Amino acid sequence: MSTPATIRTQPLKPGFGAEILDLDLRRADEETLAGVVDTFHRHGAILLRDQQLSPGELTDFIARFGEPEDHTLKEYTFEDFPKVYRLSNRVVDGRPIGAHNDGVGWHTDYSYKAEPVMATMLFAVEVPAEGSDTILADCVAAWEALPKERQAELDGKVLHHSYQHFMASREYGARELSDELKAENPDVFHPLVRTHPADGRKALWPSTGTVIEVMGMPNPEGLDLVQELVDYATQDRFTYRHKWQVGDILMWDNRCTLHTGTLFDDTKYIREMHRLWVRGDRPY
């Protein structure tokens, strides 16, 4: 599919991502919206600024990329729009309205599921004047920069992911899972090097938090390898740091990226983001 002439873009960083310029999603026609979807699949991430979308409109928009995914934890979703999850430090009537400091630490979303989410979308409702950046790592570029011998050593390795371990050990929001959540989220096994189904490009696909071993390797050597690869893939030369503005939509392809949130002064600022996911398929 060729990008419609109505879509103008500029890279988020050289060789990665695309900012789609001067487009109001509420006024876009079908051809243009199809071009937005195509741009996403070709570039690994897209940014659209100055949007004004309700939770219902966000749900409709993300459905263009695939089936919207449910959230593992439900307490911060909108009652009428359960595919939309709040990330916030705002407290109303003594209760938090969203998950705070969620997503800090390099990872890919839903890596603890047999079919991790294909895409993550964040919409900025209120942002701090400083801090709270989101950083994306281009794991295709990281893979392609490795020497061929190193690629051969890594290709074929399998990672053991555990949601139970992740939730018990995470720095922010740690909790013991209910028996129901444990049953719904059994351990899974995914390749360290993932193939993108759109065009066959390969990406390093490590993650922190959920990985408890590299199959066939003893710990700590296995976990040291995972951390080494995360550190490698998240060097400045492979990353894009997004500084949020109200109305931003940032959407990234979890099949070929890692991401992390960053902290901010939560005694001084309020942050509110709306997060949506697109259902994915089994990594290979």
The pLDDT of residue 170 is 75
> Token pair of 101, please?
């400091």
Residue-wise pLDDT for 174-217, tens only, equals 778 788 888 989 999 999 999 999 889 999 999 888 999 999 99
Domain ranges in the chain are: 8-278
The pLDDT of residue 1 is 40
Architecture of the domain delimited by 8-278:
4-Layer Sandwich (3.60)
The pLDDT of residue 3 is 53
C-alpha 210/C-alpha 227 separation (Å) is 12
> Token pair of 235, please?
């060097």
The pLDDT of residue 151 is 98
What's the pTM? 0.92
The pLDDT of residue 61 is 98
The pLDDT of residue 5 is 60
Contact at 8 Å (CB) between 40 and 20? Answer: no
Which residues make Cβ contacts (< 8 Å) with residue 4, sequence separation at least 6?
31, 32, 34, 35
Regions of the chain with pLDDT less than 50: 1-2
Task: Please state whether the peptide bond connecting residue 128 to the residue before it is cis, i.e. omega within 30 degrees of 0.
Answer: no
CA neighbours closer than 13 Å in the CB half-sphere of residue 217: 19
